[in-house]
Amino acid sequence: MPKYIPKKKYPPIVVVFKRQWSRSKPRIKIFKNLKSVDLILEDIKGKYNPAEADILEVGVGGVFEKDYRKKYKL
């Protein structure tokens, strides 16, 4: 019996958000251990993203990280 049991591999979830201040620049956050996007979208208290942040885009898959970095110049 193996001592280490690997976690299930989920596709990465890429979130681009911006704080509510006027001159804040967009930030990117990548979640590799979540199964569903619903936890991030329904987050009110700020467990995954800051509570006052505006979510600009959400993508599931590694391709979106490269696209969003290019689009928002991150």
pLDDT of 33 reads 86
Q: Report CA-CA distances (Å) from 54 to 7, 9, 21, 28.
A: 31, 28, 10, 12
Q: Are 34 and 17 in contact (CB under 8 A)?
A: no
Q: What is the pTM (predicted TM-score) of this model? A: 0.80
pLDDT at 3 over 70: no
Task: Quote the radius of gyration of the chain (alpha carbons, Å).
Answer: 14
CB 40 within 8 A of CB 51: no
**What is the distance between the alpha carbons of residues 50 and 43, in angstroms, rounded to a whole number?**
9
pLDDT tens-place string over residues 12-69: 999 999 988 778 899 999 998 888 899 899 988 888 888 888 999 999 998 999 999 9
Q: What per-residue confidence (pLDDT) applies to 16?
A: 95
